[in-house]
Amino acid sequence: MDDEQDDLFKHYYAKSGEELRDEGIDRVSEKSGSWMSRALVVVQHLSIDWVGTGEDIRRVVTLEIGPPHSQHAWGALCAHAVHKRNSILYDTGRVRKMKDPKSHARRTPIYTRQP
């Protein structure tokens, strides 16, 4: 897109998709209370050779500490775990279909545990 076209949309899109994503992650994380930090500890205790998806993390964390206040917290948890600040998980760039019927077999990233 050239500069002239880009300027046409600046007034329409006040924020970028990344900014909106990050605000949503921050918002759900703040509302999760201590759940997010406790869930990150559970993820940190996954074995070093662990490979799986956010769906797999959801099962482990739910068994250990229970579910979050909102389903949106699962995505925020994975985002925090992959973020360079935490570096708990690494996104392999591969995907697989989700197994939970409620997820409608959508594609999801495959992660590995970082040492």
pLDDT in tens, 24-51: 899 999 999 999 999 999 999 999 999 9
Residue 20 binned pLDDT confidence (cut-offs 50, 70, 90): confident
Q: How many residues belong to the chain? A: 115
Contact 40, 80 (CB under 8 A): yes
The span from the CA of 55 to the CA of 110, in Å, is 10
Q: Is pLDDT of 103 > 90?
A: no
At which residue do the structure tokens 């590995």 appear? Answer: 112
pLDDT of residue 83: 85
What is the reported pLDDT for 9?
61
pLDDT band, very low/low/confident/very high, at 68 (cuts 50, 70, 90):
very high
Distance separating alpha carbons of residues 32 and 73, to the nearest angstrom: 7
Query: What pLDDT is stored for residue 10 in this prediction?
Result: 62
- Rounded alpha-carbon distances, angstroms, from residue 30 to 6, 45, 51, 94, 99: 34, 23, 28, 30, 29
> Among 43, 54, 58, 65, which residue's Cα sits nearest to residue 92?
54
The pLDDT of residue 19 is 86
- Residue-wise pLDDT tens digits, 56-67: 999 999 999 999
Which sequence spans correspond to the domains of the chain? 16-113
pLDDT of residue 108: 95
Residue with the bigger pLDDT between 12 and 90: it is 90
Three-state secondary structure of 13-35: CCCCHHHHHHHHHHHHHHHCCCH
